[in-house]
Amino acid sequence: MANKEKEPKNKKRFFKDFKAELKKVIWPTPKQLVNNTAAVVVIVIITAAIVFALDFAFEALNKYGINPIKSKVRGTNTVVEQNIDETNNAVENAEANNDVQNVNGTVVENNSAENSNNEVTNNMNE
């Protein structure tokens, strides 16, 4: 029962203390309020302008400075990669047209390429 009696007293005490603290607060005058608000707004605008300028500068640097360099480097890599791909394709094509083919599990020689070359050579000799 003692706890129930303390709760209303604690609530009353809290609100009395709260009211007393609000009386101690020094509220700004309307002139001070306007001056402080203006100062905050000006600082926010200046900060926004600085961030905008830096964003614009870095974007321009990225667009006109770094990206062209990246594309040149990637272009060099791309040429090398294309050459490697072409070489791999040529090797794959040569392997596909290889003289030896696997048919039904047995190795059979395909002499069609040799026969074609021999025919051309024979025709030239005649």
pLDDT in tens, 70-87: 777 776 655 566 667 777
Spatial separation of the C-alpha atoms in residues 42 and 44, rounded to whole Å:
5
Sequence-distant (6+) residues with CB within 8 A of 102 are: 108
The first and second tokens of residue 29, run together, are 């005058």
First to last CA, the chain: 128
pTM > 0.85:
no
Spatial separation of the C-alpha atoms in residues 113 and 107, rounded to whole Å:
17
pLDDT in tens, 30-74: 999 999 999 999 999 999 999 999 999 999 888 888 877 877 777
